[in-house]
């Protein structure tokens, strides 16, 4: 085997005790993430130049771990009875081992090639990781994983096969079985050691951050202990604050880490925020309410609806869960979702994540062409999306002021006196006239080259339905 710098890094991580402490992971206020949901590693690599040219700084993959092979290994996103191709997208969320590569998304070599392509185009790879549970069929767990933790029974919490009945009970939430998925004993040092080898392998191949799935189901130091646990220290190990059995997280201060901590009663967002960035799920819900009502005043979008500061939030219009599981956002037209994206990306604060919907999807057929591995639809490089991704970088550091005009049918995001976004969320053309901080003059928006006139501090222009302008 050829010895490389990355191999040396991994060897040092395995052999050397950890010293020092990582800082809390902050969101990236001029960056944007493309969630290449269910794209294969090869597909992501093939589209890396387009991803970079479209203004994305990070591309987030679906889980890379060894997973349960369901329905004969079919590659449908979501098969229905009678479909010729079987399969379900969520099988990669059912680990049977923590090694790189699975039948849905690609091999370890494909993952490495994707990361090499990302490096070439100055894009960073985020990997969706899920240490919280195994496959529903826990007997499908591979012998190597069982052996690493000292036997199959040591892989799970004492409560790991007891269904959660109250998600606001922290002991149940962090140690019980969720949705039929047996709960892993994430506090077992043998499991932590095995899992961190997987994480460091991902880093060695080029990953530069992680999204922790079901993060609120993994206990914090203040949470009650499972009968098998001595300390709730998983997050200290996973974010590099401490090592386990001589192994520590590689490059902790160079990684972007955030957790899926869906908001609800009795969720300790502030304590989770001490370790990583967090998903702003309530803000996404509020934004969708505004978009669906075509009324800025339908919800308060000035409030981030989260106890953590904006610079620790990952924001979205929709996530793969709101699209696939709850279908809470799947009925929204692409152009309405795009207006929400322009709003989020134009703002100062948070790190927006763009969910790539399936290719060919419609509001009647959410799964579209229905194939895992394929590229999503073309929305991620729509001209308005690309333009606002660039706008976000141009406006970096400028404070924002947001407001609704035209009875809430149009949203304005003003960034200091440097530029602004105008977003028509209505189904009709809107003539707008409003005060701005831009100097007087004739401007042309950066998307459609439409004339926008500022005279005596007042801008006038006309926007087609469900269209955004960027002026600076």
Mean pLDDT of the chain: 93
Q: Is the pLDDT of residue 120 over 70?
A: yes
Helix 108-120 vs helix 189-205: crossing angle, to nearest 10: 50
> Of 152-166, 208-222, 258-272, which gets the smallest average pLDDT?
258-272
Query: Domain map of the chain by residue range?
Result: 5-280+350-356
pLDDT for 266: 85
Model pLDDT for residues 188-206, shown as the tens digit of each residue: 999 999 999 999 999 999 9
The answer to whether residue 9 scores a pLDDT higher than 60 is: no
Region 66-70: mean pLDDT is 98
The backbone torsions φ and ψ at residue 273, rounded to the nearest 5 degrees and listed phi first, read -70, -15
Residue 28: both structure tokens together? 């990236």
pLDDT for 24 equals 45
The dihedral region occupied by 457, where left means phi > 0, alpha psi between -120 and 50, and beta the remainder, is left
- Residue 26 CA to residue 234 CA, distance in Å, equals 19
> What's the pLDDT band for 26 if we cut at 50, 70, 90?
low
294 pLDDT tier (thresholds 50, 70, 90): very high
Answer with the residue of higher pLDDT: 37 or 2.
Answer: 37
| pLDDT higher than threshold 60 for residue 105 | yes
Contacts 24+ apart (CB under 8 A), 327-333: 327/366, 328/285, 328/288, 329/288, 330/363, 330/366, 331/363, 332/288, 332/291, 332/292, 332/363, 333/363, 333/466
Helix pair angle (334-346, 383-394), 10° resolution = 10
Whether residue 203 contacts residue 250, with contact meaning beta carbons closer than 8 Å, is answered with yes
Mean pLDDT score, 298-319: 96
**H helical segments located in 121-275:** 143-148, 170-175, 189-205, 234-238, 269-272
Distance CA 460, CA 166 (A): 53
Report the pLDDT averaged over residues 290-312. 96
What pLDDT, on a 0 to 100 scale, did the predictor assign at position 2?
35
What is the sign of the dihedral through the CA atoms of 333, 338, 339 and 343? positive
Q: Can you tell me the distance from the alpha carbon of 90 to that of 178, in angstroms, rounded to the nearest whole number?
A: 14
In whole angstroms, give the CA distance from residue 284 to residue 329. Answer: 10
Is the pLDDT assigned to residue 33 strictly greater than 60?
A: yes
Quick one: pLDDT band at residue 98, thresholds 50, 70, 90? very high
pLDDT of residue 62: 98
pLDDT score for 221: 97
Active site residue 226: no
Question: pLDDT at residue 5 above 50?
Answer: no
Is the per-residue pLDDT at 22 higher than 50? no
Q: How far is CA 178 from the centre of its chain?
A: 20
User: Which residue in the block uniquely carries the two structure tokens 């469900």?
Assistant: 466
Residue whose token pair is 């002021």 = 401
**Residue 87 confidence (pLDDT):** 97
- Which of 32-41, 49-58, 257-266 shows the lowest mean pLDDT across its residues? 257-266
Q: 242-253, pLDDT tens digit by residue?
A: 999 999 999 999
| Span 431-444, pLDDT tens digits | 999 999 999 999 99
> Does position 172 have pLDDT exceeding 80, yes or no?
yes
Is the model more confident about 367 or about 22? 367
Residue that wins the pLDDT comparison between 335 and 14: 335
- CATH number among 3.20.20.80, 3.40.50.261, 3.40.449.10, 3.40.50.720, domain 5-280+350-356: 3.20.20.80
pLDDT in tens, 373-429: 999 999 999 999 999 999 999 999 999 999 999 999 999 999 999 999 999 999 999
Distant-in-sequence, close-in-space partners of 56: CB < 8 Å, separation ≥ 6 = 32, 33, 34, 123, 354, 380, 389
The string of pLDDT tens digits covering residues 354-382 is 999 999 999 999 999 999 999 999 999 99
The answer to whether 260 is a known catalytic residue is yes
Query: Active-site residue among 97, 183, 201, 213?
Result: 213
pLDDT of residue 326: 82
Q: Which of the residues 97, 183, 260, 379 is marked catalytic?
A: 260
Tokens of 175: 């140690």
């Amino acid at each position: 085997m050829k010895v490389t710098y990355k191999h040396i890094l991994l060897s040092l991580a395995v052999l050397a005790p950890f010293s020092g402490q990582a800082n809390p992971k902050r969101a990236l206020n001029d960056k944007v993430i493309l969630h290449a949901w269910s794209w294969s590693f090869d597909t992501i690599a093939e589209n890396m130049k387009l991803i970079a040219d479209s203004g994305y700084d990070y591309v987030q993959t679906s889980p890379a771990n060894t997973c349960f092979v369901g329905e004969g290994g079919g590659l449908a996103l979501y098969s229905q009875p009678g479909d010729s191709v079987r399969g379900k997208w969520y099988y990669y969320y059912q680990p049977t081992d923590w090694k790189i590569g699975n039948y849905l998304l690609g091999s370890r070599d494909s993952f490495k090639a994707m990361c090499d392509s990302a490096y070439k185009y100055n894009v960073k790879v985020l990997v969706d990781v899920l240490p919280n549970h195994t496959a529903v069929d826990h007997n499908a767990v591979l012998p190597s994983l069982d052996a690493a933790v000292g036997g199959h029974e040591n892989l799970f919490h004492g409560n790991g096969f007891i269904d959660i009945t109250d998600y606001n009970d922290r002991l149940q939430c962090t140690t019980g079985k969720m949705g039929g998925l047996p709960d892993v004993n994430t506090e077992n040092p043998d499991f932590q050691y095995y899992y961190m080898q997987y994480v460091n392998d991902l880093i060695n191949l080029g990953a530069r951050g992680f999204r922790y799935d079901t993060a609120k189901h993994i206990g914090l130091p203040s949470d009650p202990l499972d009968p098998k646990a001595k300390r709730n220290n998983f997050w200290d190990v996973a974010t590099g604050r401490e090592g386990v059995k001589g192994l520590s997280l590689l490059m902790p201060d160079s990684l972007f880490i955030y957790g899926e901590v869906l908001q609800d009663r009795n969720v300790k967002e502030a304590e989770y925020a001490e370790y990583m960035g967090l998903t702003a799920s309530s803000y996404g819900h509020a934004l969708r309410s505004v978009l669906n009502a075509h009324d800025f005043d339908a919800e308060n979008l000035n409030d981030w609806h989260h106890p953590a500061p904006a610079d620790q939030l990952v924001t979205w219009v929709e996530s793969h869960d709101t699209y696939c599981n709850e279908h809470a956002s799947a009925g929204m037209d692409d152009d309405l979702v795009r207006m929400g994206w322009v709003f989020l990306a134009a703002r100062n604060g948070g790190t927006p994540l763009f969910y790539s919907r399936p290719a060919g999807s419609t509001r009647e057929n959410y799964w579209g062409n229905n194939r895992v591995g394929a590229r999503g639809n073309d929305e991620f490089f729509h001209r308005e999306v690309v333009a606002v991704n660039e706008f976000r970088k141009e406006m970096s550091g400028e404070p924002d002021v947001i407001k609704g005009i035209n009875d809430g049918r149009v949203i304005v995001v003003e960034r200091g006196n440097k530029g602004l976004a105008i977003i028509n969320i209505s189904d009709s053309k809107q003539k707008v006239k409003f005060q701005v901080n831009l100097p007087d003059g004739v401007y042309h928006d950066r998307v459609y080259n439409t004339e926008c006139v500022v005279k005596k501090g007042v801008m006038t222009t006309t926007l087609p339905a469900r269209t955004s302008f960027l002026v600076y």
